[in-house]
Amino acid sequence: MMNVFEKILAITTNCGDIPNRKQESQRKGLKIQRRVEEFDVAKGIGILLVVIGHNIPQGSLHEFIYSFHMALFLVVSGLVIKHESLMNLKTVRQIAFKNRKMLAYFLFYSLIYILFDLVVRVLLLKSASLHLIFWDFYQTVTFFGISVLWFISALFLAKVLAIRILVNEFRLSINVLIILIILIVIGGVNYIMPSYVGMSGLKLVGYYPVVAITRTLLMVAFLMMGYLLRPVILFFVILNKSYVGAVLCASLLVLNALFSPYTGTVDYHYLLLGNVPVTLVLGLTGSIGVLGLSSLIVKASVGAKAFVFFGKNSLFVMVTHEYFLLYGTGNLLIRWFHLSMTGTEMYVFRIVVLLVIEIFLVWLLSAKMESLITKITNKISALYTR
């Protein structure tokens, strides 16, 4: 049996899989490995918080969720970057090719969003003009991203840049310095960046690419944090059979509950970071806290399968939950059935309806969409190899 430190080394070099804790059986001389369930649970919690955050009003709960929910996906993405794969990636082109499926997701869903805006919002509902289509295209080509698609475009760019930095195998102190420099730059840009509210025309032409670049740097910092924290997270949260490490990590969520009111408005989409130092610290503490909570859920076997389901389909839920299919569905049902509800009951009903529809959409469309994305990825691969 491997001791804990040998397991950490194995996971760090084979990233994303860990030996089965119940048995380490062998098949043809190879160890059977599994996904890190805690990471899927964490992503499941994250996407549920995204859905909840988009369906509740401003307030304490909203500020708490927004203080860390997007940073969580980035930290987890950093945790699963394969150390061994970095050795084979030396150029930006190679790294971009390695992450081509993320680019395919962005291009595919951007096209769907543009078609939806053109057919539904411009031609049928006439709630928008053709100017909307121009801005949709501009947000796509500048990688600002239409609506929730900002996350996919920024994650693709951030992964390329973060991996390009990590392949150099700098010492820990150098990597930490790089992260600090990035955060200082982000703070400076956030300080001088005007609010997007009321912007139009030429101002937006400059605003979108500047935000896309700065937002990418922010995500690079969190990706690198996740990668560098991997041995610590694995030792204290994943592999340790004791509940102590997981409880200590989960308790960091208390800091987010206490200090999130001091962050102000936090929205990575438009680079609204409020109190930047507090926002950055809470992004990290909240992410570690959810990872601790995920470990407790897996250890106790309480609802883990449900969270894993949403975690594995988090990208699909991200792109479908808010914009072109489900916006206002709960309110429509409330009016249709003449339901009498308090404010809290209405928000809970909307969230439940949204989640039920998402489960149905995952069952109905997720595999088909995945197949299409794979075909697009293969097309990109063909262009790359020419």
> What pLDDT sits at residue 69?
94
Tokens of 158: 């951030």
Residue whose tokens read 């890190």: 36
How far apart are the C-alpha atoms of 137 and 256, rounded to whole Å? 37
**Identity at 109, one-letter amino acid code:** Y
Could you tell me the CA-to-CA distances from 311 to 36, 86, 308 in Å, in that order?
Answer: 12, 25, 5
Could you tell me the CA-to-CA distances from 272 to 5, 194, 268, 305 in Å, in that order?
Answer: 41, 10, 6, 34
pLDDT reading at 329 higher than 90: no
User: Which residue did the predictor score with more confidence, 44 or 301?
Assistant: 44
Q: What pLDDT digit, counting tens, does each position of 137-155 carry?
A: 999 999 999 999 999 999 9
Q: Output Rg (C-alpha) for the chain, integer angstroms.
A: 21
How far apart are the C-alpha atoms of 21 and 254, rounded to whole Å? 30
**pTM of the complete model:** 0.88
> What pLDDT sits at residue 28?
37
Contact indicator for 160, 95 with CB cutoff of 8 Å = yes
3-state secondary structure string, the chain? Answer: CCCHHHHHHHHHHHCCEEECCCCCCEECCEECEEECHHHHHHHHHHHHHHHHHCCCCCCHHHHHHHCCHHHHHHHHHHHCCCHHHHCCCCCHHHHHHHCHHHHHHHHHHHHHHHHHHHHHHHHHCCCCCCHHHHHHHHHHHCCCCCHHHHHHHHHHHHHHHHHHHHCCCCCHHHHHHHHHHHHHHHHHHHHHCCCCCCCCCHHHHHHHHHHHHHHHHHHHHHHHHHHHHHHHHHHHHHCCCCCHHHHHHHCCHHHHHHHHHHCCCCECCCCECCCHHHHHHHHHHHHHHHHHHHHHHHHHCCCHHHHHHHHHCHHHHHHHCCCCCCCCHHHHHHHHCCCCCCHHHHHHHHHHHHHHHHHHHHHHHHHHHHHHHHHHHHHHHHHHHC
Contact indicator for 24, 31 with CB cutoff of 8 Å = yes
Contact indicator for 13, 83 with CB cutoff of 8 Å = yes
Under the banding of pLDDT at 50, 70 and 90, the label for residue 386 is low
Under the banding of pLDDT at 50, 70 and 90, the label for residue 160 is very high
**β-pair type (26-27, 33-35):** unpaired
How far apart are the C-alpha atoms of 263 and 270, rounded to whole Å? 15
How far apart are the C-alpha atoms of 310 and 31, rounded to whole Å? 28
Under the banding of pLDDT at 50, 70 and 90, the label for residue 48 is very high
Q: Which of 31-45, 100-114, 206-220, 250-264 has the lowest mean pLDDT?
A: 31-45
**Identity at 104, one-letter amino acid code:** A
Q: Which of 23-27, 183-187, 263-267 has the lowest mean pLDDT?
A: 23-27
Under the banding of pLDDT at 50, 70 and 90, the label for residue 186 is very high
Tokens of 157: 């760019």
Q: How close are the terminal C-alpha atoms of the chain, in Å?
A: 47
pLDDT reading at 214 higher than 80: yes
Please choose, from the candidates 49, 77, 72, the residue with its C-alpha nearest in 3D space to the C-alpha of residue 61: 49
> What pLDDT sits at residue 363?
92
pLDDT reading at 7 higher than 80: no
How far apart are the C-alpha atoms of 332 and 326, rounded to whole Å? 10
> What pLDDT sits at residue 313?
94
**Identity at 237, one-letter amino acid code:** V
